[in-house]
Homo-oligomer: A and B are copies of this chain.
Amino acid sequence: MEYTFANRMNRLKGSAVRELMALTARPEVISFAGGMPAPELFPVEGVKAATCAVLDEIGQKALQYAPTEGYVPLREKIVERMEKRLHIKTDIDHVLITSGSQQGLDFSARVFLNPGDVILVESPSYVGALNAFNACEPTYVEVPTDDYGMIPEELEKILATTENIKLIYVIPDFQNPSGKTWSMERREHFMELVNKYEIPVIEDNPYGDLRFEGEYLPSLKSMDTKDLVIFLGTMSKVFCPGLRIGWVCAPTEVLAKYNFVKQGADLQTSSIDQMVASKFMEMYDLDAHVDKIKAVYKGRRDLMLNCIKEYFPSCVEHTTPEGGLFTWITLPEGVDAGKIAPKCLEQNVAYVPGGAFYPYPGKENHFRLNYSNATEEQLVEGMKRLGKVLKAELGE
């Protein structure tokens, strides 16, 4: 049987990260490839207590269909948290619960993008976002970035000369994959340009709570005076990803469109998962839990950066993330990290080659390392193995 699929399917392939995860499932592999939280920090007993409470108190409701927009008490808590940490003043009518923030990415593309429409992205950008956007067949324009975020002059050049720009997609805090955070000045400059050109912005903030040091910076959404910023949040990195709880916070007219897409896409996010997340926040102190996570991840980041210094060849560069889950490695110009990855796998250690994080091929001398999902012991052993392969390839 020969099938005729929709044109959009030509743009979709399996995510490099998800496919690598299959290869790295062998227990002897130490993987720095995924973006998974440390499972030993999951509040398993807390989730159990919260689930029992939900089922005892509102069991029938927890197992029934529920409104598309999401569970009101959860949305109320999300609104509170957004104000406290991100200086976003909003209300529950501007919040839609999604099945992880990945679904917010998918919906963003579906709400705004016709085939060929232009979306601006950081260079590099999150592979899962590119994967979601691809289903709407956009054209990408990569905005050059440095250590402080998108470079305003480069952004303005693009805004002034490119037709048909529909969206700008950014991760200002502890970016995936680079680990970098936009400076306050860059945030302000960015919002000036966005206001001038009136282009909607998708601000993706999965890691923002996980700051190890320095000051929390206000979100772009909190600086938005023209209803241009659509904020995507998630419980995956501060609570647990298995429940698939994310949210979209957007202006009224825009959120109505996301809501229509949600209805057709899956009606609603799991009723019980939403209620459990909400109940957990009533029964426990989520901020105290986040503090525990940050302490562990900070230790692992320090350890990973030390291992880079100790075991990697001196020609290898890395970023110094102030939070989040990733550091970004740059190899000498012309070296292909994709070609070294199989040799690493032979030594039972894995990373994601950087090429996956660009919409178009050609930038292959990078890779992404995750430090949240390996014990200290695994981390040191894995970095030693990586260093050995890199030194064999690149010299001391």
Contacts and interface: CB of A to CB of B under 8 A. Distances in A.
Contacts of A193: none
A270 interface: yes
A103 to B, nearest CB: 4
* A contact patch SS: helix
A242 B12 contact: no
Given A14-B259, A64-B39, A259-B14, A106 B243 contact: no
A273 interface: yes
Interface in A109-131: 110-114, 117, 128, 131
A199 to B, nearest CB: 10
Interface residues of A, number: 88
A265 B265 contact: yes
Contact of A4 (B14, B106, B134, B166): B166
A18 B68 contact: yes
Contacts of A284: none
Interface of A: 1, 3-9, 12-15, 18, 21-22, 34, 36-37, 39-40, 42, 44-45, 47-48, 51-52, 55-56, 59-68, 98-100, 102-103, 105-106, 110-114, 117, 128, 131-132, 134-136, 166, 198, 200, 226-228, 236, 240-244, 251, 253-254, 257, 259-261, 263-273
Contacts of A18: 67-68, 263, 267
Contacts of A63: 39, 42, 44, 47, 240-243
Interface centre among A14, A40, A62, A117 (most CB of B within 10 A): A62
Contact of A266 (B8, B103, B113): B103
A132 B111 CA distance: 14
Contacts of A103: 265-266
Interface centre among A4, A45, A272, A273 (most CB of B within 10 A): A272
